[in-house]
Structure 1
């Protein structure tokens, strides 16, 4: 469930315009007298189409996502689908707050404000923080800071971080081990003969289609997993068994590869992914709210998607990544793992920005932005985005309900806003 349209992103003009945007604090004066804190709106772009009159209804499980149910489904996903709870931290860690800046960005030959951005885009939540301080936190469509928003494919990066922790603990001996070392049910299959590293980089060479037409392989995988009756998840993924390229030679987005990483983690740690995440990351970073992770009929977390959390807890996760896995002096994720996950090795040219896709590169289940600075993104369909700049410790969390799973160029405007944020707030 990733942003397939990113293959078509061409951004140099937009990025240059955003970077050249002048500093613009409080240009409208709308925030100068308001106490810093989250801002809530009952409306949003095309609110009527999204079900405002009915209170943004949730709909029913298993139904194709209808537009007037998207807001409800994307903020109540774990009420529709079986999920494993992830308890909030024993000792919450609190962000500081600063007065809200006014941010200007350029897009399609227009100079726009961040308020314009919210009027133009179906954003449910938008949060910008610099290190330990929240600078901007807005919600639309009657969503609040208590709603848990579904991550879609942003969850993939969580899985990769847990793999790194499992390696550091000796539970996974090497990411160059074949998958079958940990998941015997895949022995003799193409995925079983593929290394963990190739799965982390989505470079297995195994055929898997993900175009979101309801007939592709991701639809088949989803239908097999989002059911009540128990199914062996190894048998479910084993059906994808045609190799079209040698491992480690060609990047190809395939959610099934994250699903297999989830099976590796479960076998290597002997612990459900949600529990492992809680103990190694979620509790130590001082999360303020419970989270959840959707599970299949066998009780296995659906690793390629469907983690659910509040906006500020996503921001805590982003801050952890911005600090290369360290939290208040404690290294939760090995620093070298974070560096490896967000850097392309010289021998992996197929993963580089402008090669893997026209814009993004790809690391360990994370998207890499081009440029000299190391910057990266977690992305999910319909506009789920977390952007991280380790140098400035700026992060942006963006949840949304775009009408289509992916649209060519859908990330152009969020990235224009992000580069303006970096230019105006990253000094």
Structure 2
């Protein structure tokens, strides 16, 4: 998780000359009490971090670091695989491009990626990708080696090729997908959507997606370290889960959504309307989420612009990745937290919900 670039091809997502700085306002968070989400025993914040295979965590409030910790060998400068937190970086890049008029989310995917015109993506819009609402047929069952999410890994070289007929590039794999439902309907979490979005970004700009993310997100927000994204044999970016970055830069990213799209030093990065739209959702976002084909463990929640909203009537939203990656944003408490982990299994409902509860408890303790 901390060494992807040493054994897989990656494209750097370069930082710029300017790095924004956090202030320091340390608090002892270790003994903050955390109520178990399913009625188990009350534990401490440190207990939750210790029980959830944590590589590193950070809590910030209004641009000040109040707590931060790393488990060896991870350090403040280590880049760590973000898994599907990568999706939220990619949708934010889309928002920046939309704000500048470079990309239109109402246009069809095939307008930007002609190679997908005859695939299941025919008729889908960019907005459908951003909100995971296409009708493309794709299984996200991580424990099924024949599921499309695992075949995708064969296509990009993340897994041995054991299934016949799998394309040898990411775009070729996306072009092979069919559809089994209407576009714009229910929420259906599918990693392929963000990979298609990466090619939309490349089609709209005529540039490598990692370079676009650098110019439109990473540099403007004042990242301290270069990130990188895993690429396939021809340089196609795996934006669904292949970005690696430092914990502090994740906190910088989350802070954009506390500050109406502005970086810690006041530089505009994301359109304020994009942040507002993320928080408000579409008129039917919650209905689409409630109709999801798979359990979400988030009753009353929604998914909008690459972020998870775990409950109704709350200012809390999340960027999430399997094996325990998270950016936590609490606008009411002015808290952004992030956690990078190495869970032994891709998904674990108890670890996920106790981590959210731990960050909730810390956020409210800082008010």
Normalised to the residue count of structure 2, the TM-score between the two structures is 0.90
Once the two structures are TM-superposed, the CA of residue 82 in structure 1 deviates from its matched residue by 0.7
Deviations 1:134-166 (A, max 9, x none): 011011133211211110000001111111122
CA RMSD of aligned residues (A): 2.0
Other-structure match for 2:164: none
Other-structure match for 1:82: 9
Match for residue 156 of structure 1 among 76, 87, 97: 87
Work out whether 1:334 is the aligned partner of 2:271.
Answer: yes
Work out whether 1:212 is the aligned partner of 2:149.
Answer: no
Once the two structures are TM-superposed, the CA of residue 237 in structure 1 deviates from its matched residue by 0.4
Work out whether 1:137 is the aligned partner of 2:68.
Answer: yes
Cα distance in 2 for partners of 1:130, 1:303 equals: 28
Which structure has the greater CA radius of gyration?
1
Cα distance in 1 for partners of 2:28, 2:194 equals: 38
Other-structure match for 2:236: 300
SS at match of 1:287: coil
Cα distance in 1 for partners of 2:333, 2:268 equals: 19
Cα distance in 1 for partners of 2:190, 2:201 equals: 18
Other-structure match for 1:93: 20
Work out whether 1:116 is the aligned partner of 2:53.
Answer: no
Once the two structures are TM-superposed, the CA of residue 196 in structure 1 deviates from its matched residue by 1.0
SS at match of 2:351: coil
Cα distance in 2 for partners of 1:165, 1:358 equals: 30
CA contact (8 A) 2:129 2:197 kept: yes
Once the two structures are TM-superposed, the CA of residue 232 in structure 1 deviates from its matched residue by 4.9
Deviations 1:254-276 (A, max 9, x none): 10111100010001011212211
CA contact (8 A) 2:95 2:274 kept: yes
Match for residue 237 of structure 1 among 169, 174, 178: 174
Work out whether 1:248 is the aligned partner of 2:184.
Answer: yes
Other-structure match for 1:363: 304
Once the two structures are TM-superposed, the CA of residue 333 in structure 1 deviates from its matched residue by 0.7
Deviations 1:289-320 (A, max 9, x none): 22111111111211111111111111111111
Once the two structures are TM-superposed, the CA of residue 250 in structure 1 deviates from its matched residue by 1.2
Deviations 1:323-376 (A, max 9, x none): 231123332111111222233322344334x55434142111211121323321
Match for residue 283 of structure 2 among 346, 351, 374: 346
Cα distance in 1 for partners of 2:35, 2:348 equals: 20
Other-structure match for 2:106: 176
CA contact (8 A) 1:323 1:393 kept: no
Work out whether 1:398 is the aligned partner of 2:318.
Answer: no
Deviations 1:66-113 (A, max 9, x none): xxxxxxxx1111222111112333022221112222322122443322
Structure 1 runs not aligned, ≥5 long: 1-73
Match for residue 255 of structure 2 among 293, 302, 319: 319
CA contact (8 A) 2:55 2:340 kept: yes
Once the two structures are TM-superposed, the CA of residue 409 in structure 1 deviates from its matched residue by 3.2
Match for residue 279 of structure 1 among 215, 240, 255: 215
Deviates more, 1:203-212 or 1:100-109: 100-109
Cα distance in 2 for partners of 1:349, 1:411 equals: 21
Other-structure match for 2:126: 196
Cα distance in 2 for partners of 1:124, 1:261 equals: 29
Cα distance in 1 for partners of 2:57, 2:309 equals: 21
SS at match of 2:280: coil
Other-structure match for 1:166: 97
CA contact (8 A) 2:221 2:267 kept: no
Once the two structures are TM-superposed, the CA of residue 217 in structure 1 deviates from its matched residue by 0.4
Cα distance in 1 for partners of 2:148, 2:47 equals: 38
State the number of aligned residues. Answer: 350
Structure 2 runs not aligned, ≥5 long: 162-166
